[in-house]
Amino acid sequence: MSRKIIPYILLLPTFIIITFFIYYPAAMTFKLSAYRVSPFGNRIMFIGLKNFKFLFTSQEYAHVLYTTLIFVSVTVGVGLVISLLIALLLNEKVPGIGIFRTLVFAPYAISPAVAGTLWAFLLSPAAGYVSYLFLILFGTQPQWLTSFPLALVSIMIATIWKNLGFNIIFFLAGIQSIPKSYYEAATIDGAGAAKKLFNITIPLISPVTFYLVIMNIIFTTFSVFGTIDIMTQGGPGGTTTTLIYKLYRDGFVNYRTGFASAESIILLAIMAVFTYLYFKFAQRAVHYQ
Amino acid sequence: MWRKLMVLSMILIFLVSFIFAAPVTIRFWHAMSGSRIKLIQNLANEFMKTHPNIIVKVQYTGSYNDTLNKTIAAVKAGNPPDIVQVYDIGTQMMIDSGIIIPVQDMIAKDKTFDINTLVPQARGYYTVGGRLYSMPFNSSNPVIFYNKTLFKKAGLDPNDPPTTWSEFIADAKKLTVKDSKGNTIQYGFTSGLIGWFFEQYMAVQDAPMFNNDNGRAKRATKAVFDSPAGLRIFNFWNDMVQSGIMLNAGPGWSNPRQIFMSQKAAMLLTSTSDVEMMLKAAKDNHFELGVMFLPHPSGVPYGGVIIGGASLWMINTHNVQKEKAAWEFLKWLAGVKPQIEWSTGTGYFPINKNAIQKLLYEGYYAKYPQYLVTILQLLMSNVTPSTRGGVVGPFPKVRATIENALGKVFNHEMTTAQALKWAQDQANQAIEEYNSLYQ
């Protein structure tokens, strides 16, 4: 009997914390999404599903959804390919490989806001190093942060760079867990480097790849807001406004708590789909060694 | 029953008054970053020296936006600060918040404070419906800084800066320098993509942003900036960007400053609160700094500029002692000495007339004429509903929408007329939504 109670008692503190900091706010979000709320919360008006109706019929929101889709798919796709290539390089036995690995992982340790600041500085019009480099090398001055579509590309670059470390570590672990004998056998059969990559490495690390795709989608969607806020503030003309950034603007700059709650529920629904996919497919495919 | 309660509460008040013989602690949240954190702390320290029974806990709480968010959260949690600094465009929101004490109420009770010492433009901005709601503190207005050295190089008279839009464009053209490959190595002009400047150019043309006398006669219900004046601004801005004489530095204030300070642009539109920074930069980078008024389109009656910046709001904490202490501090901050310290340390102009007078007599403005220009531009503005500035609940959204609209013009997504109409529709939607809560 006591054995059955103790686990619950041990779980209780966690449960209490989760209730107050996750379940209760989440329940409030659902409630608030049906209201129009004044900035200080002193006036509140029940409007039913109007917030959702407005979102689903809004051209602007459709555009934000589209921007997010482009942003996330390109960032995750390109980011993973680059990460895999670097992971392959870091798998080579060269002197000082430990230092290279540490350096490559470093960007992951900094916050998205710091990454944004760094890149905003590098890409700053006229005064940035990258702008200067482009002037010397190519004789042009692209307006990185203030023109479409370069502003979105800049955010993508910053996000890819930021996520590299995380992806590389996982790819590296995946690659290193492949038994050497497979490659030896392939070499004897006369397979080249490319063949080995496509027929052995990539298929065998596919569980890792799947895990990374899902994780990347989730944190590219959620954590990019700091980067955007610092680099472009969603501009120019709203072309770098993603779902999470719009949610932030509506909630904490425009002080439309009810409307922002409705947006966060839509975001929650989208994320729920990915989490479901992850649990459905990844659990049986990924081996954590 | 009631008598018992009365007696009990009397005893309680009696006891509480004993507790309050001890120093009263008030909390003051502000949004002034960098060297200004220290400057404000020093002001508070001076105040505490002369007012030993009041302790002011000063806290820098991030940007204007962060500070307002923290205040909202603190109000909801029942633990708000006693004084909070809120940006100009938060005025209507604060009035509607139901948590503030209008400073007019404190002034009415305090014969020692002369409201007429406040600079009329600053006082006018924070007066809505005939009541002064908050104490002006850091007030600025927009000016154009220019590089006199580059003016000379371009063959322009550095002591005759442009005054009209057409002169401004002509000079900016002459100040734009390209290399042999056609790349611009020096721009005539730069500025951030900041909605505040649009509002200022509206005031320059004496055109309102909102109906009902810019929201000052009664609550504004419609945006009216989609007007010939508004379109003129969009065209002026866009023409300069498209013709390559102006570098659009994107959102925020720091990029355009950097560009100007590193002499990659000859003119910069920014806030007067940058005077101190610009004087220092000019010295470090060896160029001569000039300040000019905002140019205006010819053939349009001149209005003036609106003050920007922020003011200090008193939060109703239902604690009379704290309210009194907070008012003492606000009153002191608006005094001559603190205003001089604050103004000369930043570039915000003093909101106390006597402080301006004192600086003038002491020869400060003769030594730093750049500071004088910033004040003169304001004092030479006509006081009309347009130059007193618009008041509307969702002002942050309106400002951002105008920035967004200009971005759409620069992206060739919309024409200037389309973008302006789009912005006004968005603004109207936001105003309607906000106002529906207060009907």
Total number of domains in chain A? 1
Residues B217-243, mean pLDDT to the nearest whole number: 96
Q: Give me the CATH number covering residue A77.
A: 1.10.3720.10
Query: So what's the pLDDT on residue A141?
Result: 81
Tens of pLDDT along B368-422? 998 899 889 998 999 899 999 999 999 999 999 999 999 999 999 999 999 999 9
Distant-in-sequence, close-in-space partners of B438: CB < 8 Å, separation ≥ 6: A38, A43, B96, B219, B393
User: Residue A234: which domain range?
Assistant: 55-285
Query: So what's the pLDDT on residue A198?
Result: 87
Residue B412 domain flag: yes
Q: Does B184 touch chain A (CB under 8 A)?
A: yes
Residues A169-177, mean pLDDT to the nearest whole number: 91
> Does residue B122 sit in the same domain as residue B245?
no
CB atoms within 10 A of CB B244: 15
The residue with tokens 């204007």 is B64
Measure CB to CB from residue B250 to each of A135, A139, A232 and give the nearest one: A232
Cross-chain residue pair A148–B430, CB shorter than 8 Å: no
Tens of pLDDT along A216-269? 998 899 888 889 999 999 989 999 999 999 999 999 999 999 999 999 999 999
Measured CA to CA, the distance from residue A167 to residue B237 in angstroms comes to: 44
Total number of domains in chain B? 2
Q: Are B365 and B359 in contact (CB under 8 A)?
A: yes
> Does residue B74 sit in the same domain as residue B212?
no
Residue A45 domain flag: no
Measured CA to CA, the distance from residue A63 to residue B149 in angstroms comes to: 46
Residue B382 domain flag: no
Q: How far is A145 from chain B (nearest CA, A)?
A: 7
Q: How far is B201 from chain A (nearest CA, A)?
A: 20
Measured CA to CA, the distance from residue B306 to residue B124 in angstroms comes to: 10
Q: Give me the CATH number covering residue B87.
A: 3.40.190.10
Residue B19 domain flag: yes
Cross-chain residue pair A141–B184, CB shorter than 8 Å: yes
Give contacts of B 254-313 with A, CB under 8 A: 255, 258-259, 262, 264-265
Residue of A nearest to B73 (CA): A40
Size of interface A-B (CB pairs under 8 A): 119
> Does residue B300 sit in the same domain as residue B313?
no
Query: So what's the pLDDT on residue A284?
Result: 61
Distant-in-sequence, close-in-space partners of B9: CB < 8 Å, separation ≥ 6: none
Q: Taking each helix axis from N to C terminus, what angle separates B35-50 and B320-333, rounded to the nearest 10 degrees?
A: 120
Q: Are B386 and B428 in contact (CB under 8 A)?
A: no
Tens of pLDDT along B103-155? 999 999 999 999 999 999 999 999 998 899 999 999 999 999 999 999 999 99
Residue A128 domain flag: yes
Measured CA to CA, the distance from residue B124 to residue B107 in angstroms comes to: 16
CB atoms within 10 A of CB B372: 18
> Does residue B298 sit in the same domain as residue B312?
no
Residue A36 domain flag: no
Cross-chain residue pair A42–B98, CB shorter than 8 Å: yes
Token pair for B210: 């909102």
> Does residue B160 sit in the same domain as residue B294?
yes
Q: How confident is the model at residue A289 (pLDDT cuts 50, 70, 90)?
A: very low
Residue B320 domain flag: yes
- A-chain residues near B189 (CB < 8 A): none
Residue A261 domain flag: yes
Distant-in-sequence, close-in-space partners of B288: CB < 8 Å, separation ≥ 6: B147, B148, B149, B158, B282
Q: Please list the alpha-helical segments (H only) found in B263-319.
A: 275-284
Q: How far is B259 from chain A (nearest CA, A)?
A: 6
Residue B387 domain flag: no
The C-alpha angle A5, A8, A12, rounded to 5 degrees, equals 140
> Does residue B200 sit in the same domain as residue B285?
yes
Token pair for B219: 């609550």
Measured CA to CA, the distance from residue B2 to residue A149 in angstroms comes to: 71
Residues of A with CB under 8 A from a CB of B: 36-45, 124-127, 135, 139-141, 143, 145-148, 232-239, 249, 252-256
Q: What ipTM goes with this model?
A: 0.87
Of the candidates B199, B201, B229, the residue with the CA atom closest to the CA atom of residue B214: B199
Handedness of CA B161, B306, B402, B218 (dihedral sign): negative
User: Residue B188: which domain range?
Assistant: 142-304+394-436
> Does residue B217 sit in the same domain as residue B237?
yes
Q: Are B127 and B116 in contact (CB under 8 A)?
A: no
The residue with tokens 């490659």 is A183
Q: How confident is the model at residue A194 (pLDDT cuts 50, 70, 90)?
A: confident
Please give the C-alpha separations between residue A233 and each of A122, A268, B5, B382, in angstroms, as whole numbers. Answer: 17, 23, 56, 34
> Does residue B175 sit in the same domain as residue B240?
yes
Cross-chain residue pair A127–B259, CB shorter than 8 Å: yes
Residue A61 domain flag: yes
Cross-chain residue pair B405–A237, CB shorter than 8 Å: yes
Residue B250 domain flag: yes
> Does residue B124 sit in the same domain as residue B176?
no
Query: So what's the pLDDT on residue A288?
Result: 45
Please indicate whether residue A138 or residue B214 has the higher confidence score (pLDDT). Answer: B214
> Does residue B169 sit in the same domain as residue B248?
yes
- B-chain residues near A41 (CB < 8 A): 72, 75-76
Q: How confident is the model at residue A95 (pLDDT cuts 50, 70, 90)?
A: confident
DSSP at B21: T
**DSSP state letters, A175-231:** HHTS-HHHHHHHHHTT--HHHHIIIIIHHHTHHHHHHHHHHHHHHHHHHTHHHHHHH
Q: How far is B345 from chain A (nearest CA, A)?
A: 27
Tens of pLDDT along B181-197? 888 889 999 999 999 99
Strand bridging mode B54-60 / B24-30: parallel
Query: So what's the pLDDT on residue B22?
Result: 77
- B-chain residues near A145 (CB < 8 A): 250
Radius of gyration of chain A (CA): 23
Residues A148-154, mean pLDDT to the nearest whole number: 93
Of the candidates B139, B191, B198, B168, the residue with the CA atom closest to the CA atom of residue B375: B139
Residue of B nearest to A50 (CA): B433
Cross-chain residue pair A140–B250, CB shorter than 8 Å: no
Amino acid letter at A151? A
The residue with tokens 């036995």 is A93
Q: Does B246 touch chain A (CB under 8 A)?
A: no
> Does residue B371 sit in the same domain as residue B425?
no
> Does residue B67 sit in the same domain as residue B24?
yes
Q: Is A94 exposed, middle or buried (0-12, 13-18, 19+ CB in 10 A)?
A: exposed
- A-chain residues near B400 (CB < 8 A): 249, 253-254
Identify the H or E element spanning A44: strand A44-46
Cross-chain residue pair A236–B98, CB shorter than 8 Å: no
User: Which of B184, B258, B399 should be substituted to probe chain A, the one whose Cβ sees the most A Cβ atoms within 10 Å?
Assistant: B258
Q: Say if residue A76's pLDDT is above 70.
A: yes
Token pair for A279: 């649990």
Measure CB to CB from residue A254 to each of B76, B181, B394 and give the nearest one: B394
- B-chain residues near A255 (CB < 8 A): 68, 72, 93, 394, 396
Tens of pLDDT along B155-172? 999 999 999 999 999 999
